[in-house]
A = this chain, B = another copy of it.
Amino acid sequence: MEDTRTEAEAALDPAALAAALVRDYVADNVEALNRLPPETAAAVLAHLPRERAIDILDQADLDAAPDIVRLFPPNLAASLLTGMAADRAADVFRQIDEPARSELLSRLEPESSAAIRRLLVYPPNTAGSIMTTEFVSVPSSWTVGQALAHIRKVERTRETIYAIYVLDPSSRRLLRAVTLRRLIAAEPEAPILSAARPQEPITVTGLVDREEVARLFTKYDLLAVPVVDAAGHVLGIVTVDDVIDAILEESSEDVQKFGGMAAIEEPYLQIGFGYMIRKRAGWLCALFISEMLTASAMQSFQSELEKALVLSLFIPLIMSSGGNSGSQATSLLIRSLALRELHLGDWWRVAIRELPTGIVLGAILGVIGIARIALWQNLGFYDYGEHWVLVAITVGIALVGIVTFGSMAGSMLPFVLQRIGFDPASASAPFVATLVDVTGLVIYFGVATVILRGTLL
Chain A interfacial positions (CB closer than 8 Å to B): 23-25, 27, 59, 61, 148, 151-152, 155-156, 161-162, 180-181, 184-185, 199, 202, 214, 217-221, 223, 240-241, 243-245, 247-248, 251-252, 254-256, 258-261, 264, 267-269, 273, 276-277, 280-281, 283-285, 287-289, 291-292, 294-295, 298-299, 302, 305-306, 309, 312-317, 319-321, 323-325, 327-336, 339, 341-342, 346, 349-350, 353, 356-357, 360-361, 364-365, 368-369, 372, 382, 403, 428-430, 433-434, 437, 441
Contact = CB atoms under 8 A, between A and B. Distances in A.
Contacts of A428: 327
B223 A357 contact: no
A233 B180 CA distance: 28
B331 A313 contact: no
Contacts of A321: 284, 287-288, 291
Nearest to A440: B316
A424 to B, nearest CB: 12
Nearest to A441: B316
17 contacts: A161-B184, A180-B184, A244-B247, A247-B247, A268-B342, A269-B349, A269-B350, A277-B357, A277-B360, A280-B361, A281-B364, A284-B364, A288-B324, A302-B309, A302-B313, A306-B309, A316-B437
Given A305-B312, A430-B429, A336 B268 contact: yes
B317 A291 contact: yes
Given A273-B356, A309-B309, A315-B316, A259 B259 contact: no
A264 to B, nearest CB: 7
- Chain A interface mostly: helix
Contacts of A369: 288
Contact of A317 (B255, B284, B292): B292
Contacts of A302: 309, 313
Contact of A331 (B241, B256, B316): B256
Contacts of A161: 181, 184
